[in-house]
């Protein structure tokens, strides 16, 4: 049976849209890689350097074991990427 437009759920105007807050949105490594354009190993190297200001992850569990789940704050990763763009623009000027 082929679905038609009338078969699809329609958003209700009475239902408020979810509020998106980049300062409280956590993203995992694949999203971080996509935003900054670097692979996992390079990102972890940047995190060890204090001079580059790459954001530190948020622990998602109480585990200290290697491989314990972590995530990054979206707004912090975006701010770091913007800082790299601004640094490029300052050098070019």
Question: What is the predicted pLDDT for the residue at 90?
Answer: 86
Rounded mean pLDDT of 1-23? 63
Give the domain extent around 42.
25-61+68-93
Please count the structural domains in the chain: 1
Query: Which residue from 27, 39, 20, 30 is spatially nearest to 77, judged by alpha carbons?
Result: 27
More confident residue, 88 or 11: 88
Q: For residues 74 and 25, is the Cβ–Cβ distance under 8 A? A: yes
More confident residue, 11 or 45: 45
Q: For residues 72 and 34, is the Cβ–Cβ distance under 8 A? A: no
Residue 89 above 80 pLDDT?
A: yes
User: For residue 20, is it within any domain?
Assistant: no
Question: What is the predicted pLDDT for the residue at 92?
Answer: 61
Question: What is the predicted pLDDT for the residue at 30?
Answer: 98
Q: What is the enclosing helix (H) or strand (E) of 87?
A: helix 74-92
Rounded mean pLDDT of 8-34? 79
Q: For residues 29 and 35, is the Cβ–Cβ distance under 8 A? A: no
User: For residue 31, is it within any domain?
Assistant: yes
């Amino acid at each position: 049976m082929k679905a038609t437009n009338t078969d699809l759920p329609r958003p209700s105007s009475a239902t408020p849209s979810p509020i998106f807050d980049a300062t409280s949105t956590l993203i995992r490594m694949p999203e971080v890689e996509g935003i900054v354009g670097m692979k996992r190993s390079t990102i972890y190297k940047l995190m060890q350097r204090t001079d580059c200001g790459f954001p530190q992850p948020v622990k998602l569990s109480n585990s200290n074991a290697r491989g314990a789940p972590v995530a990054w704050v979206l707004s912090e990763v975006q701010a770091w990427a913007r800082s790299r763009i601004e640094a490029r623009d300052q050098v070019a000027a």
